[in-house]
Amino acid sequence: MKTIDEKFRALATDHAPGQEVRQKAGDLAAMMRGDILGGVPVDFSHGDVDAFPPTPGSSEAWNDGFGRGARQAYTEYRGSAPIRERLAARLGAFTGRPVDATSELIITPGTQGALFLALGATVTTGTRVAVVEPDYFANRKLVEFFGGERVPIPLRYKGTAAQNGPDLHAVESAFSNGTTVLVFSTPNNPTGVVYSHAAITAIASLAASHGVTLIVDQLYSRLLYSGESYTHLRACERVPDDTITIMGPSKTESLSGFRLGVAFGSTKLIDRMERLQAIVSLRAAGYNQAALDTWFAEPDGWMAQRSREHEAIRDALLGVFRSGGLLTTTPQAGSYLFPEVPPLTVDGASFVRLLRHQAGVTVTPGSEFGPGLSQSIRLNFSQDHAAAVAAAQRIVRMVEIYRA
Amino acid sequence: MKTIDEKFRALATDHAPGQEVRQKAGDLAAMMRGDILGGVPVDFSHGDVDAFPPTPGSSEAWNDGFGRGARQAYTEYRGSAPIRERLAARLGAFTGRPVDATSELIITPGTQGALFLALGATVTTGTRVAVVEPDYFANRKLVEFFGGERVPIPLRYKGTAAQNGPDLHAVESAFSNGTTVLVFSTPNNPTGVVYSHAAITAIASLAASHGVTLIVDQLYSRLLYSGESYTHLRACERVPDDTITIMGPSKTESLSGFRLGVAFGSTKLIDRMERLQAIVSLRAAGYNQAALDTWFAEPDGWMAQRSREHEAIRDALLGVFRSGGLLTTTPQAGSYLFPEVPPLTVDGASFVRLLRHQAGVTVTPGSEFGPGLSQSIRLNFSQDHAAAVAAAQRIVRMVEIYRA
């Protein structure tokens, strides 16, 4: 049994995206080679909602919600019934399987909130949970916080799209050996790999056979690049009863400042998640929930344009990194890049701090996403196009300066 | 070790305030005596923000925050640094002891969020936690969720103000027997009892001697009635290092729809709470945090008028309940009343459901606040004055109809 001190050591946020401002410059001056590299600072730790502003109408929706007063301020813990009703129809259409607004859907404080509730509803001391590596860093921390045992599932991501994907043998072996929950993101965070139709149907079918609970984080599933296709697990023919799908408007739609997410699926788990929400923070902020009415209801052409603009940045940065010798997988969806840095004279954590100090570029160290990934860095490229390209060039320059 | 099913059974929200809408009418028709009682429906399960609207300027502050874009959307997990800076000064002045904005303060999604983080940061499997009875229902649930053992501390609340208060012998005995955390609210929810100066200094001093962590929920400490005084524990001469004070603008200031709260105190615990926040929901919604600039900065006379109006409703309802034979303690602060209903022909839970169905009055059953309290009901009287009085009269009428 871990002490509470150990429990919180495992939750260190020193390198978490957005927390860099709390770091001290410390001994960086001694380590630094050459001069400060000028240029517009870019914070790749999260998307820039000034470059890609929130969905049109979202602040007006908030003001309408505020104007509705009490009934919008105090919703059920699982969220406003009329908003869930409208949302369920859209989420059902998007994912290819109906969602019951009354029993199968909960509105949460961000997708982070949805993940927390989903894992809190399924993981307790000793629960064996399959976690993909690399994957969103909070998955590992959540499993540990709730006392679960992590069973790692390797994700191949350095090959072609056809070669990439989760190790299905590892999945089957985990399911055969007492693992009762699998959590994963597709598109994968941090690599942008989209799980193939074959991988998704295999996972769904294996989980159904073994009675495994599936928690599928589809946060980025709307931002799909040219020529890519996406399989929604919940619409597969064989799916376990205990499946939870997680989405939210924080990324592609830039509504992160509203802290809104949704989880939908198993009635039993949604009910547990609401009970947990009741003691965690009661509900997603009432007035904010109103902004969900703009989701999947954007103006004609808005999503298509947003996708095109992100694809252009993706392609430009891939060009910069690849010509600079940084091995980088082509993201099939989403706005993350996960370039691998060649051997350097400084360790991965120091390089990340130097990038911020010397080059005005904030990235998230690969070590946050799984063991043995300290040679990679993650960038959220939802940024001003020109500033992002210049910043990527500074990263390449920094690699040259510190190359071993 | 509890199974996850048992864990979630203990988190039932069927009677939680705001969740009544999910109840089925069921067998109530068979149980009902006489006719439906007409009148404006009143939901006493929470305050009515239409009767007492949000602080002036709060929605404008939200819009300003939205306008600031990225830097307001993505704050540190513990909240926006400039907002914390301004808030720390005000909270320090209000509570009589300085608060360091950098290390001693976290902005949370509501006071519920602050309580969750504070207990999550201090309670793990086997931690002995002293919980006052009656007190806010989530305290008990949180202790159980985190695997702690509850040590009950009786609160006397049926006497005069001088007689009321926590059982200090029970506190001392708990502290001498391995209890490492005490959580309590003052003003007490649901009774409105304010802990005396003597009780507060005794608790602080005992906790300091025994190295006990104190979590003090002061949510209602601004809404103090004529002639009452309030002691801020954190400003006592002897206080344990690990003290956390919790407040928020959801009640008196009617900002519940923004989901904002604060916790301040021990650097070690605030740091842990931020780590937990990082995996729970990242941060209180960024744009919403901007509304905290209106807190403790209300227009001249605004708080005084709000207090007067609540005091008038309190006195009117006390009159109705007492002349109807319902024993009711005079709340010294806050907007809760906790009347005791005489013996009835139906059980407490059914009476509460009948109140809603037959009399259009929603209240929270006393059983939510501790064992053996099913004869009491809790009302949040932050409501339209006339509607609240009429609804209280219907409660008295219902007691007559169902009296044993």
What structural domains does chain B harbor? 4-53+301-402 (3.90.1150.10), 58-294 (3.40.640.10)
Residue B13: pLDDT over 70: yes
Residue A20: pLDDT over 90: no
* Buried/exposed code over B373-400 (b: 16+ C-beta within 10 A; e: otherwise): bbbbbbbbbbbbeebbbbbbbbbbebbe
Q: How many Cβ pairs closer than 8 A exist between chain A and B?
A: 200
Q: A292-341 pLDDT, tens per residue?
A: 999 999 999 999 999 999 999 999 999 999 999 999 999 999 999 999 99
Residue A19 is predicted with a pLDDT of 79
What is the distance in angstroms between the Cα of A34 and the nearest Cα belonging to chain B?
30
Q: Residue B290: closest CA among chain A residues belongs to which residue? A: A257
What is the pTM assigned to this prediction?
0.97
Residue B395: pLDDT over 70: yes
Distance of alpha carbon B362 from alpha carbon B298, whole angstroms: 31
Mean pLDDT of B274-285: 97
Read off the pLDDT band of A18 (50, 70, 90): confident
Answer whether A18 touches B (CB < 8 Å): yes
Q: A139-152 pLDDT, tens per residue?
A: 999 999 999 999 99
Answer whether A282 touches B (CB < 8 Å): yes
What is the distance in angstroms between the Cα of B64 and the nearest Cα belonging to chain A?
11
ipTM score of complex: 0.96
Residue B25: pLDDT over 70: no
Distance of alpha carbon B291 from alpha carbon B60, whole angstroms: 8
Nearest to A77 among B1, B19, B286 (CB): B19
Alpha-helical regions (H) of B11-55? 28-31
Residue A231 is predicted with a pLDDT of 98
Best mutation target, B280, B289, B292, B382, to test chain A (most A CBs within 10 A): B280
Q: What is the mean pLDDT of chain A?
A: 96
Q: Which of A178, A153, A184 is nearest to A167 (CA)?
A: A153
Q: A33-43 pLDDT, tens per residue?
A: 999 999 999 99
Residue A316 is predicted with a pLDDT of 98
Residue B247 is predicted with a pLDDT of 98
Contacts with B123 from chain A: Cβ below 8 Å: 4
Distance of alpha carbon A250 from alpha carbon A259, whole angstroms: 7
Please answer whether residues A109 and B259 qualify as being in contact, where contact means their C-beta atoms are separated by less than 8 angstroms.
yes
Contacts with B19 from chain A: Cβ below 8 Å: 76-77, 278
Please answer whether residues A264 and A270 qualify as being in contact, where contact means their C-beta atoms are separated by less than 8 angstroms.
yes
Q: A69-118 pLDDT, tens per residue?
A: 999 999 999 999 999 999 999 999 999 999 999 999 999 999 999 999 99
Please indicate whether, in this complex, the C-beta atoms of A276 and B145 are within 8 angstroms of each other: yes
Distance of alpha carbon B17 from alpha carbon B22, whole angstroms: 11
Please indicate whether, in this complex, the C-beta atoms of A70 and B59 are within 8 angstroms of each other: no
- Judged by CB atoms within 8 Å, which residues 198-227 of A form the interface with B? none
Q: B335-344 pLDDT, tens per residue?
A: 999 999 999 9
Residue B318: pLDDT over 80: yes
Residue B195 is predicted with a pLDDT of 98
Q: Which amino acid is at B54?
A: P
Distance of alpha carbon B26 from alpha carbon A298, whole angstroms: 41
Residue A395: pLDDT over 90: yes
* Angle of CA points B50, B51, B52, to nearest 5°: 95
Please indicate whether, in this complex, the C-beta atoms of B18 and A62 are within 8 angstroms of each other: no
- What are the residues whose beta carbons fall under 8 Å from the beta carbon of B104, sequence distance 6 or more? B88, B264, B265, B266, B267, B270
Read off the pLDDT band of B21 (50, 70, 90): confident
Q: B34-76 pLDDT, tens per residue?
A: 999 999 999 999 999 999 999 999 999 999 999 999 999 999 9
Contacts with B62 from chain A: Cβ below 8 Å: 62, 66, 287
Residue B7 is predicted with a pLDDT of 85
- Judged by CB atoms within 8 Å, which residues 108-127 of A form the interface with B? 108-110, 112-113, 116, 121-127
Mean pLDDT of B106-133: 97
Distance of alpha carbon B302 from alpha carbon B285, whole angstroms: 26
Q: CA A13: distance to chain centroid?
A: 16
Mean pLDDT of A278-298: 98
Please indicate whether, in this complex, the C-beta atoms of B11 and A53 are within 8 angstroms of each other: no
Read off the pLDDT band of A25 (50, 70, 90): low
- Judged by CB atoms within 8 Å, which residues 58-77 of A form the interface with B? 59, 62-63, 65-66, 69-70, 72-77
Alpha-helical regions (H) of A14-55? 28-31
Distance of alpha carbon A165 from alpha carbon A305, whole angstroms: 28
Please indicate whether, in this complex, the C-beta atoms of A281 and B13 are within 8 angstroms of each other: no
Residue A96 is predicted with a pLDDT of 98
Please answer whether residues B283 and A112 qualify as being in contact, where contact means their C-beta atoms are separated by less than 8 angstroms.
no
Q: A180-207 pLDDT, tens per residue?
A: 999 999 999 999 999 999 999 999 999 9
Q: Residue A22: closest CA among chain B residues belongs to which residue? A: B76
- Judged by CB atoms within 8 Å, which residues 233-272 of B form the interface with A? 256-259, 272
Distance of alpha carbon A47 from alpha carbon A302, whole angstroms: 18
Distance of alpha carbon A362 from alpha carbon A391, whole angstroms: 9
Residue B23: pLDDT over 90: no
Q: CA B203: distance to chain centroid?
A: 20
Mean pLDDT of A124-153: 96
